[in-house]
Chain A
């Protein structure tokens, strides 16, 4: 009974308080999201990944960096569920600890890149004129290089390491967000509700932050979720090339790189981290799809 009334309270068309209105809007979104089974599947995987990262030391059966040369390159067995690598380290434990690295990379890039993109794009679109020209030409310069090559150049200049790899990825992945945010801003800029706010004397900063950002952010979130897979792969690529995480840090890309030498005889060394990257990338894509249903209804159905 209380369940029913809570639901009615949330779905009410006439909310009585600010809090009810907010929660109601949120609940509506959740219902739309929940209707997408695949997106829910993605969400569950990502929650598991989060838990795995949070409790890594307790979940991992063995020390991820402890070498045991007697046990090197053992196939999956009851002692080592996913086998061992060339230094006899337990691959499962390394994967579990590696999820922390992956989440760190993805999280940081996802925080930095869209924020830069949102700022550059909305300012360019809203100001127009020469500001727009300058900002968008800078964006074009970044877009003119392949992302990984540019990231490589940055890492080469800054020195290898996980921090620099993240920085390089963030710096190279904002331009698409800037483009997207600018395009959105251009359609919003001349809307009547912006004109109405201007007539109340709202200044450009208020219009930008209070009126334009909320409308751009939702499409950016969707885009970020869909790009996550790409970011993971780029990070893994840098790791694979030896420019990301440095040994013995258990980063998934670097693990594949390690397994490359033995790929024909000991397939599991490269395949297991590959599998992990695949599953997490897929989960982010599914989540992004679901988020699009919720945040960007015009793009989803009809």
Chain B
């Protein structure tokens, strides 16, 4: 790929528990350029925790360590909260799964977008208002003026997710981390939201980390895919090659999906192997 925006090597996240230390992420490494990087895995694979660790959102007693965690060559590993807050939002943004829990219910949509923009740009109120309306327009909301004055409970799920994207992209971040941004949405709305995100990311030359459990979606939406299992990346490949994946885990996931185009009597079931937890990546980066 082109210039590296984010460079991660040997990222680990661990939590102390009663029965010893639990490692949620166990040595994840990747470089992100101006591209769409998909991170796929089942629940508990550490994919969301990877995103949170990059943003410094792992709460104590969780511990994050890494050989390298650099944004444009500058280390952002375990920065003090104050510095991290300046990076979060303005340089790296995150869109969560459910807009219902991410939007403040007692502030209008417009105020929230303006606030996120002003916090990071220090612009005047008027400029922020114009920017907010522009962003609402950019995420293809038909009547930005009306939505600007609406409260989060007055908008639908798909609209809410578009508003979240507008809010997150208002300060022009370099990287967007989207954690299951469309899982709570219906298919018709899903495609629309994806299209908007896709367009904004490519127009602005941003790097996108797209965390999802949906292999097919990631294959169609992203450029490159990391497949995670038990806190590690077990396979990395170009999205268009996903259906030729070699790792038995990836293959197993793909084959366990019921398909519309041809009927099967029984679905094949993934046989997990203990070896996957610790093997060396065959095509490691």
Q: Chain A: residues with CB nearer than 8 A to chain B?
A: 11, 31, 302
Contacts and interface: CB of A to CB of B under 8 A. Distances in A.
A89 to B, nearest CB: 51
Contacts of B18: 11, 31
B59 interface: yes
Nearest to A35: B18
4 contacts: A11-B18, A11-B19, A31-B18, A302-B59
A152 to B, nearest CB: 42
Q: Give chain B's interface secondary structure class.
A: loop
Contacts of A302: 59
A31 B18 CA distance: 9
A31 B17 CA distance: 12
Nearest to A8: B19
A302 B15 CA distance: 14
A97 B141 CA distance: 75
A190 to B, nearest CB: 18
A12 to B, nearest CB: 11
A11 B18 CA distance: 10
Contacts of B19: 11
A158 B18 CA distance: 54
A140 B29 CA distance: 60
A11 B19 CA distance: 9
A297 to B, nearest CB: 13
B157 to A, nearest CB: 21
Contacts of A11: 18-19
A33 to B, nearest CB: 13
B101 to A, nearest CB: 14
A189 B18 CA distance: 33
Nearest to B19: A11
A89 B64 CA distance: 63
A107 B32 CA distance: 63
A11 B17 CA distance: 13
A6 B18 CA distance: 16
A302 B59 CA distance: 9
Contacts of B59: 302
B44 to A, nearest CB: 15
A5 B280 CA distance: 35
Interface in B16-43: 18-19
A31 B59 CA distance: 22
A302 B61 CA distance: 11
The 4 closest A-B pairs by CB, nearest first: A31-B18, A302-B59, A11-B19, A11-B18
A31 B19 CA distance: 12
A126 B18 CA distance: 37
Contacts of A31: 18
B168 to A, nearest CB: 24
Nearest to B59: A302
A260 to B, nearest CB: 49
A36 to B, nearest CB: 14
Nearest to B61: A301
Interface string B148-192: 000000000000000000000000000000000000000000000
Nearest to A31: B18
Nearest to A302: B59
B11 to A, nearest CB: 22
A11 B20 CA distance: 13
B37 to A, nearest CB: 29
Interface string B94-131: 00000000000000000000000000000000000000
